[in-house]
């Protein structure tokens, strides 16, 4: 039995697809044709980019003008060049870094630093005058005093340690501290008077002593605590609290 073939008709979507296939090569070709001289089509994005040594300007790639003592950076941003070691950018040129006397070119090549024993001041390196009983710091641009001395104006003055005192390492205070059992008073070390039933606290503030457990400080003395009925010494040992279920009322313990 013969079957009559139906005529093939192009549908709307198919016509659009075929038109796209025809148009894409042309569009790609047009895009490539629009790439200016000294440029390359981008591999992972649309458009193009200027080759190394060129920068985009008004839809074209213009050669980067390198000033003397510079090199191209091949970067998409910035001016496209940097000054060589020992030079710094000034406007559109590279000028040599002027290293003053008693200085050296910084590792970056963009500036300078003073030699040890000198410090920067007004664009030059001036010598650090180390006074007697002083020495250069680690940086070499300043000085500090030896142990037992402290900076006073531009010299190192000896620290006067009073009787029963000793030198301390910190240089920001008086430079000395009192021995244990003594307190600093008007530049001297005065003995701390600990009352009977008391002990030294080694504290830099307060009286310097506290009372033993079972005693309370009063008028410079340690007086025994009088525990009322149904009471016990608290955690500090210098006061008392009522046993449960009693509650403190004035100087006695009462049931709630």
Q: Structural domain of residue 246, as residue ranges?
A: 226-256
Burial of 55 (0-12, 13-18, 19+ CB in 10 A): buried
| Sequence-distant (≥ 6) Cβ neighbours of residue 1 within 8 angstroms | none
pLDDT band at 13 (very low <50, low <70, confident <90, very high): low
Domain count for the chain: 2
In this predicted structure, what is the pLDDT of residue 12? 56
Pick the last residue of a domain from 54, 80, 96.
Answer: 96
250 found inside a domain: yes
In this predicted structure, what is the pLDDT of residue 10? 52
**Angle at alpha carbon of residue 151, lines to 153 and 120, rounded to 5°:** 70
pLDDT tens-digit series, residues 81-107: 999 999 999 999 999 999 999 999 999
pLDDT tens-digit series, residues 102-123: 999 999 999 999 999 999 999 9
Distance from C-alpha of 106 to C-alpha of 90, rounded to nearest angstrom? 18
Distance from C-alpha of 114 to C-alpha of 45, rounded to nearest angstrom? 49
Label residues 154-179 b or e (16+ Cβ within 10 Å = b).
eebeebebbeebeeeeeeeebbbbbe
36 found inside a domain: no
5 found inside a domain: no
Distance from C-alpha of 102 to C-alpha of 99, rounded to nearest angstrom? 9
* pTM to 2 decimal places: 0.57
Task: Tell me the CA end-to-end span of the chain in Å, nearest whole number.
Answer: 116
- Asked if 104 and 127 touch (Cβ cutoff 8 Å), the reply is no
pLDDT band at 29 (very low <50, low <70, confident <90, very high): very low
232 found inside a domain: yes
Q: What share of the chain is helix, strand, coil (3-state, %, to 5)?
A: 10, 40, 55
92 found inside a domain: yes
34 found inside a domain: no
- Asked if 134 and 156 touch (Cβ cutoff 8 Å), the reply is yes
Distance from C-alpha of 18 to C-alpha of 37, rounded to nearest angstrom? 33
Q: Which residue has the higher pLDDT, 198 or 19?
A: 198
pLDDT higher than threshold 70 for residue 16: no
Pick the last residue of a domain from 96, 126, 159.
Answer: 96
In this predicted structure, what is the pLDDT of residue 51? 86
pLDDT tens-digit series, residues 165-220: 999 875 556 789 999 999 999 999 999 999 999 999 988 788 899 999 999 999 89
In this predicted structure, what is the pLDDT of residue 31? 47
141 found inside a domain: no
245 found inside a domain: yes
Q: How many CA atoms lie within 13 A of 70 on its CB side?
A: 22
pLDDT tens-digit series, residues 123-167: 999 999 999 999 999 999 999 999 999 999 999 999 999 999 999
Per DSSP, the residues of 33-53 read HTPPTTEEE-SSSSSEEEPTT
In this predicted structure, what is the pLDDT of residue 227? 94
Q: Which residue has the higher pLDDT, 9 or 40?
A: 40
Pick the last residue of a domain from 96, 131, 162.
Answer: 96
In this predicted structure, what is the pLDDT of residue 96? 97
pLDDT tens-digit series, residues 224-238: 999 999 999 999 999
Torsion angles phi and psi, residue 12, rounded to 5: -60, -55
């Amino acid at each position: 039995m013969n079957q009559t073939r139906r005529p093939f008709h192009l549908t709307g979507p198919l016509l659009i697809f075929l038109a796209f296939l025809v148009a894409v090569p042309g569009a790609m070709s047009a895009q490539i044709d629009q790439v200016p001289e000294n440029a390359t089509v981008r591999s992972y994005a649309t458009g193009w980019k200027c080759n190394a040594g060129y920068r985009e300007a008004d839809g074209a790639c213009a050669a980067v003008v390198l000033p003397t003592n510079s090199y191209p950076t091949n970067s998409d941003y910035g001016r496209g060049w940097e000054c060589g070691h020992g030079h710094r950018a000034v406007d559109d040129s590279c000028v040599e870094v002027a290293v003053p006397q008693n200085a050296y070119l910084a590792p970056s090549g963009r500036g300078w630093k003073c030699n040890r024993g000198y410090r920067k001041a007004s664009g030059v390196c001036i010598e650090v005058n180390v006074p007697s009983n002083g020495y250069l710091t680690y940086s070499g641009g300043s000085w500090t005093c030896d142990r037992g001395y402290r900076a006073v104006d531009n010299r190192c003055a000896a620290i006067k340690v009073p009787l029963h005192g000793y030198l301390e390492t910190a240089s920001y205070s008086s430079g000395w501290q009192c021995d244990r059992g003594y307190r600093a008073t008007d530049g001297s070390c005065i003995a701390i008077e600990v009352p009977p039933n008391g002990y030294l606290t080694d504290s830099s503030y307060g009286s310097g002593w506290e009372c033993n457990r079972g005693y309370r400080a009063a008028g410079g003395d340690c007086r025994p605590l009088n525990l009322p009925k149904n009471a016990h010494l608290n955690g500090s040992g210098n006061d008392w609290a009522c046993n449960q279920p009693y509650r403190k009322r004035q100087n006695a313990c009462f049931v709630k």
